[in-house]
Amino acid sequence: MPEVKRPVQTIEVNYVCDKCGYGMMQKVGEMDPVTGDIKHECIICNHPQTFKWRPYPRIDHIGLDESIDSDS
């Protein structure tokens, strides 16, 4: 099958802390290869949280015709 190219825009995806509601979560450990767990911590209140398979912050790409608000 031939290659298909299309223009995209780069976006940064952050996760706002569930505890304080202000700080962004940042990755503080490597992903567990068995469970997919990635430990994070709020940069303001240090609240710990674990996410599966997705680190924060991260860079994603979406098509120019796609909404930034859509879940990718």
What are the sequence ranges of the domains in the chain?
8-63
Which pairs count as long-range contacts for 26-31, CB under 8 Å and 24+ apart, including other chains?
A: 26/56, 26/57, 27/55, 27/56, 31/55
Section 29-37 average pLDDT: 96
pTM for this model (two decimals): 0.80
pLDDT of residue 15: 98
pLDDT of residue 70: 52
pLDDT at 54 over 60: yes
